[in-house]
């Protein structure tokens, strides 16, 4: 709950308290594919979630500028967008690192040491879950079941699944990613 409130405060600060609302200089560029997707969904029911999914697919998070642009294109209040992104855990409000490390916290992984893997990663990267390293290379998060429980404990980095992860493997995995 604390994290959710922290995220809300941060987002509201970003949205309304710095740089000015609808700042043209910060305007984000949507790809032609994204623009035509929004045009296609503009009048359909449930369009806001679909559009925000697509925006996150393109940028990996929902920035203030992207939210502004969606509000303008769909002609909906910014508050409606904020309502959706804050309700669904899936949406991210901060830019993830170059390598976003997702550690499964589902039951099977938890029982097989997923929490320890997450803590070890946090200790080596010097960030808590939900944060990004200062150099922007890594971000770390605990996620729900990744669907390959037989490989527990599991983590996923950039779509690649790492199964039966042990704490001792972590330095080598991080070093390889740093060089990638």
Q: How far is the CB of 150 from ligand FES (least distance, A)?
A: 8
Bridge partners, 104 (sequence order): 143
Bridge partners, 162 (sequence order): 155
Q: How far is the CB of 99 from ligand FES (least distance, A)?
A: 19
Question: Contact with ligand FES (CB under 6 A): which of 38, 152, 170, 174?
Answer: 152
Residue nearest to ligand FES (CB): 106
Residues 80-139 that bind ligand FES (CB under 6 A): 104, 106-109
Query: What six digits make up the tokens of 83?
Result: 């309502």
Using DSSP, state whether 44 is helix, strand or coil: coil
When the beta carbons of 97 and 106 are compared against ligand FES, the nearer one is 106
Q: How far is the CB of 57 from ligand FES (least distance, A)?
A: 22
Q: Which stretch binds ligand FES (CB under 6 A): 5-13, 86-94, 123-131, 141-149?
A: 141-149
Number of chain residues interacting with ligand FES (CB under 6 A): 12
Instruction: Write the DSSP assignment of 124-178 as a string of letters.
Output: HHT--TT-B-TTSSEEEEEES--S-GGG-S-EEETTEEE-S--GGGHHHHHHHHH
Bridge partners, 142 (sequence order): 103
Rounded to 5 degrees, what angle do the CA atoms 155, 156, 162 make? Answer: 60
- Cβ(120)–Cβ(170) under 8 Å? yes
Q: Which stretch binds ligand FES (CB under 6 A): 5-13, 37-45, 147-155, 169-177?
A: 147-155
The yes or no reply on residue 145 touching ligand FES (CB under 6 A) is yes
When the beta carbons of 81 and 103 are compared against ligand FES, the nearer one is 103
């Amino acid at each position: 709950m604390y994290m959710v409130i922290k995220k809300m405060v941060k987002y509201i600060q970003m949205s309304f308290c710095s740089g000015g609302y609808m700042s043209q200089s910060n305007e984000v560029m949507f790809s032609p594919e994204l623009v035509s997707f929004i045009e296609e969904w503009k009048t359909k029911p449930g369009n806001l979630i679909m559009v925000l999914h697509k925006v996150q697919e393109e940028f990996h998070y929902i920035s203030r500028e992207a939210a502004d642009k969606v509000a303008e294109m769909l002609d909906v209040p910014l508050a409606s967008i904020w309502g959706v992104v804050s309700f669904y855990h899936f949406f991210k409000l901060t830019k993830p690192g170059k390598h976003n490390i997702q550690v499964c916290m589902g039951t099977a992984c938890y029982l097989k040491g997923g929490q320890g893997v997450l803590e070890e990663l946090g200790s080596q990267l010097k960030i808590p879950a939900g944060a990004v390293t200062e150099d922007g290379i890594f971000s770390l998060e605990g996620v729900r079941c990744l669907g390959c429980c037989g490989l527990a404990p599991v983590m996923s980095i950039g779509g690649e699944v790492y199964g039966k992860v042990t704490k001792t493997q972590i330095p080598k995995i991080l070093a390889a990613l740093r060089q990638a």
